[in-house]
Amino acid sequence: MTAVRTARTRLAPQVRRAQLLECALAAFAEHGVARATHSHVAERAGVSVPAVHSYFRTRDDLVTAVLGEVEAYLLDIVSSSLGGPKTVAGALKTLAVRFAAAAREQPDMIKVWLDWSTGVRADVWPHYMALLEKLHRIARRVFSRGKREGVLPASLNVKAAARLYLGGGHTLALMQFADASESEVEALIALIVTSVMAETPDTPLPEVDRT
């Protein structure tokens, strides 16, 4: 681990907090949600431990701030991908592609998410389950729309479909850290989307606007 050494200048409080939160995210990605401390953040930021405590008084405050950043990031990805004037299949593929890309573009954010998702016995688990319900709710709206438009089977269980689909996104993120090939990632994206669309994997999928 390479500490981020910054000049000991007097930053505006909001700038300093943002800097410390960025360092905290990196520390949580490296050490895990259950083990990262104020000391890890201070080392990365090049400040004293009391300086970190002045912005995040307790470890609970630090954990809440970091997980809040991850929650906001995931909600933005899911809502922006599944919303807008897209077809149902196009929306689903867009989010699958973005899940795969997020692990490359924001690895610390995704590492914290993956670690958080495994903390079944941790105090943060209820918070994670609440986040998961928010994500499922967004996905369920897309599947319900698909049923209304007749592009999804009338018998589709939208709750089950949302769980299956978002679980696939979780797997896509894991694959990036396992150095999966691009063809493997693309094959899983196609399978995830076509499985919830009740189509065959050979069915052509719409192109995704990556801009």
Q: Which tens digit of pLDDT belongs to each residue from 55-70?
A: 999 999 999 999 999 9
Look up the pTM and report it. Answer: 0.86
How confident is the model at residue 9, as a pLDDT? 61
Give the integer Cα–Cα distance in Å for 209 and 65. 32
Q: Which residues of the chain have pLDDT under 70?
A: 1-9, 198-211
Place of tokens 């990036």: 176
